[in-house]
Amino acid sequence: MTSKKQLQLAYGLAIGLFIVGVVCYAYTAFSAKPLDQPIRLMYKVAAGNVLFDHQTHADESGYGLSCADCHHHPEEDEEANQACGNCHVIPSEAEPVPKTCLDCHEADEIEDAIPMKRSDAFHKQCGNCHAEIEAGPLEKECNSCHVR
C-alpha cells in the first residue's frame, strides 16, 4: 500500500534530485577548465583506438620527457604547443602552398606542400623513441597499442 507520505517522498525525490542533477551538470559544464597538460589521450583511428598516457610520459614521476622531445614546434615556447593540423594544413587548389608553410619555410625550399600523414608521423614518433630506448611497444607490434 502506498501512503500519502511515501508519495510525497517520491515527488520530493523527483523534484529535488532533478534540480540537483541540472545544477551539477551546469556546474560541470561551466566550471570546466582546459587542463595544463592532458592526462590521457584517445586517438580514434580506423585501425583501432590508441590510449596514450600523456601524464606518464611527461611527468617527472614517469618517464620525465620534456615537451620538445615529442612536440617539435614551436621550439622555444613550450606553452604554445598546438595541434599538428594547425600548421600542417593539407594544400588545396586555391592554396597549393598553405600560408602556414611559410611561417617556417622559405617559399623556394618547398618542393611538395603535402604534409606527412598523421598516422605516419605518430608511428615514426612513437616507434623511433621506443626502439631507441628499447622499451614499450614497437612499431610493428600493432596490437600493443591499437585495440580492436
Q: Which residues bind another protein (CB under 8 A)?
A: 1-3, 6-7, 9-11, 13-18, 20-25, 27-28, 35, 38-42, 49, 51, 55, 143-144, 147-148
For residues 146 and 143, what is the distance between their CA atoms, to the nearest angstrom?
Answer: 5
Least distance to another protein, CB of residue 135, Å: 14
| CA separation, residue 90 to residues 43, 44, 74, 115 (Å) | 20, 20, 19, 7
| Nearer of residues 44 and 99 to another protein, judged by Cβ | 44
Which residue stretches of 2-133 are H helix?
Answer: 4-31, 54-58, 67-70, 84-87, 118-133
Q: Which of 118, 82, 87, 117 is nearest to 105 (CA)?
A: 87
Q: Which residues pair with 42 in a beta bridge?
A: 51
**Shortest distance in whole angstroms from residue 42 CB to another protein:** 5
Q: How far is the CB of 86 from another protein (least distance, A)?
A: 21
Q: Which long-range contacts (CB under 8 A, 24 or more apart) does 131-139 make?
A: none
Kindly state the smallest distance separating residue 62's Cβ from another protein, in Å.
12
C-beta of 107: minimal distance to another protein in Å?
Answer: 40
Q: Are the C-beta atoms of residues 119 and 135 closer than 8 Å to each other?
A: no
Give the nearer residue to another protein in terms of CB position, either 101 or 145.
145
Residue closer to another protein by CB (options 13, 104) is 13
7 or 104: CB nearest another protein: 7
30 or 75: whose CB is closer to another protein?
Answer: 30
